Amino acid sequence: MDITAISAAELHTMLENKTISAVELAQAFLQRIAQVEDKVKAFVTLTEEMALDQAAKLDKKITRGEKLGPLAGIPMAFKDNMCSEGIRTTCSSRMLKNFIPPYAATVVERLQEAEAIVLGKLNMDEFAMGSSTENSAFFPTHNPWDLTRVTGGSSGGSVAAVAADEAVYSLGSDTGGSIRQPAAFCGVVGLKPTYGAVSRYGLIAFASSLDQIGPVTKTVRDNALVLNAIAGHDPKDSTSVPYEKPDYTKFLVNDIKGLKIGIPREYFGQGIDAEVSRVIQKAIETLKDLGAEIAECSMPHTEYAMPTYYLIAPAECSSNLARYDGVRYGHRAENSEDIISMFRKTRAQGFGPEVKRRIMLGTYALSSGYYDAYYLKAQKVRTLIKQDFDRALEKFDVLLSPTAPTPAFKLGEKSTDPLAMYMSDICTVPLNLAGLPGISIPAGYAGGLPVGLQLMTKAFGEGMLYRVAYTFEQNTDFHKLKPNLTAEVAS
């Protein structure tokens, strides 16, 4: 097997046994990137020299016989909305095209402390606003399973890099499904942790009450290893929760006998592709055969999740993106007559169509005379959606649904229809509104394209998600299948 296709856990053993050096491993991934990146287009910035330098330093440590951490020497990459000191961080926007942060996000610091090898920064929908990574100001990212299709979004580069074996794992951010939906489209494992479990310090904000950073990996074990490294309280983030972080790998047991899994009927209604539904029903049967107790449940306010989200998220976006005015950092328009003209030109030039659309929606929802009718009402409905989850999770250990209503769609297919694009997140958005954890794992295929299974549970119940996901993974082969990207590239 190609070295780039191996999991982080297996590569750790190889590094410890000195069957491969950290430099050789980094070189293998840089070669893989050189081979396929022109087709996949996952990276915005490649940090080749930095990666090789980090690897060389680690090899000296290995030579001295020092113990390696589980992620030491493992090549990875960050979504390009996480500040990295000295490395360009663009949010895939013209507004930040040349921005180099003077500090690093907490998750970046934690993985640097874990001695991860950083390959670069990954493409995304501009300011994380989108479901296909077609809203990047630079280029769309292509699905490794079918280069004519989208990766999903907004963490499209993060999942494509892992699916195409350009990185062992990556970090993405999830505001309304931006880790889980693309993970489903590209056949990898993607976790949205509980809101407050992973620090958002240094994450360039879209919607501050919804954004959460999480890992994208090849396997459930790798996902737990990465969460171990990045989770935990951070005093720099006022929304970070001081909780007792477990060792998530302790939950990786191949046993779900007696666990209660709820199937919310609202997640299987209109808009769910028949082939996706078939794959998920088969996955449910597999879990039942493995000893889980399966029953249907209802979450009646689910139908209001999309309009609620598309009031709250744009409102927070309008507030957060007001700082991009051409004064302090980022793009500044030239040849302006006065400061008001400079503001207008800067924002007109710096933001793409989708970002402008959401800023206008949010500004309207927050404006005098409309705040109570829209934003305040949406916050009240958000509470009802959270209560639906609370009631269901009193009866069940885990809730199960499709991650996305369809497999990956064609590039350009929905780019002129914002409402159709927004509906790609119909299965993932409610969980963000509730602030709860969810994971997407490969569950099968529809027309040769990956289908994701979404598992959801109580706040800080990531261990339960890993237990169910790991059991399913160990009793199926979907995570072992790879896109034949070399053939795609050759053709």
- Return the SS3 of 166: coil
Computed over its alpha carbons, how large is the radius of gyration of the chain? Answer: 21
Question: Residue range 388-408: average pLDDT?
Answer: 98
Residue 195 has pLDDT above 50, yes or no: yes
- Return the SS3 of 426: coil
Spot the catalytic one: 7, 21, 41, 79.
79
Beta bridge partners of 231: 198
For residue 190, give the nearest of 164, 213, 208, 207 by alpha carbon: 213
Check if the beta carbon of residue 92 is closer than 8 Å to that of residue 43: no
pLDDT of res. 490: 43
Is residue 489 very low, low, confident or very high in pLDDT (cuts 50, 70, 90)?
A: very low
Q: What CATH fold (topology level) applies to the domain 15-266+277-298+387-490?
A: Amidase signature (AS) enzymes (3.90.1300)
Residue reference for tokens 């890992």:
215
CA end-to-end distance (rounded Å), the chain: 22
Residue 491 has pLDDT above 80, yes or no: no
**22-40 vs 48-63: helix axis angle to the nearest 10?**
160
Domain parsing of the chain, residue ranges: 15-266+277-298+387-490
Condensed to tens digits (0 to 9), the pLDDT of residues 64-84 reads 999 999 999 999 999 999 999
Condensed to tens digits (0 to 9), the pLDDT of residues 6-40 reads 999 999 999 999 999 999 999 999 999 999 999 99
Condensed to tens digits (0 to 9), the pLDDT of residues 93-131 reads 999 999 999 999 999 999 999 999 999 999 999 999 999
- Told to judge if 154 belongs to the known catalytic residues of this protein, a careful annotator would answer yes
Q: Would you say how long the chain is, in residues?
A: 491
How far is the C-alpha of 142 from the C-alpha of 145, rounded, in Å? 9
- Of 364-373, 380-389, 434-443, 480-489, the poorest mean pLDDT is in 480-489
How far is the C-alpha of 225 from the C-alpha of 237, rounded, in Å? 22
Which residues touch 337 (CB under 8 Å, ≥6 apart)?
A: none
Q: How many CA atoms lie within 13 A of 211 on its CB side?
A: 27
Mean predicted lDDT score pLDDT of the chain: 96
pLDDT of res. 57: 97
Is residue 1 very low, low, confident or very high in pLDDT (cuts 50, 70, 90)?
A: low
- Return the SS3 of 217: strand
pLDDT of res. 485: 81
Write b or e for each residue in 262-284: b if 16 or more Cβ atoms lie within 10 A of its Cβ, otherwise e: bbbebbbeeebbebbbebbeebb
- Return the SS3 of 440: strand
- Told to judge if 178 belongs to the known catalytic residues of this protein, a careful annotator would answer yes
Note the helical H segments in 114-219: 156-163, 180-186
Beta bridge partners of 441: 453
Residue 173 has pLDDT above 50, yes or no: yes
- Told to judge if 257 belongs to the known catalytic residues of this protein, a careful annotator would answer no
Cα angle value 448/450/451 (rounded, 5°): 120
How far is the C-alpha of 357 from the C-alpha of 119, rounded, in Å? 33
Percent of the chain, pLDDT > 90?
Answer: 94
Is residue 270 very low, low, confident or very high in pLDDT (cuts 50, 70, 90)?
A: confident
pLDDT of res. 487: 57
How far is the C-alpha of 16 from the C-alpha of 22, rounded, in Å? 10
How far is the C-alpha of 335 from the C-alpha of 241, rounded, in Å? 46
Residue 368 has pLDDT above 90, yes or no: no
Q: Tell me whether strands 169-173 and 75-79 are parallel, antiparallel or unpaired.
A: parallel
Beta bridge partners of 169: 76, 217
Question: Residue range 333-347: average pLDDT?
Answer: 93
Spot the catalytic one: 21, 178, 240, 415.
178
Residue 488 has pLDDT above 90, yes or no: no
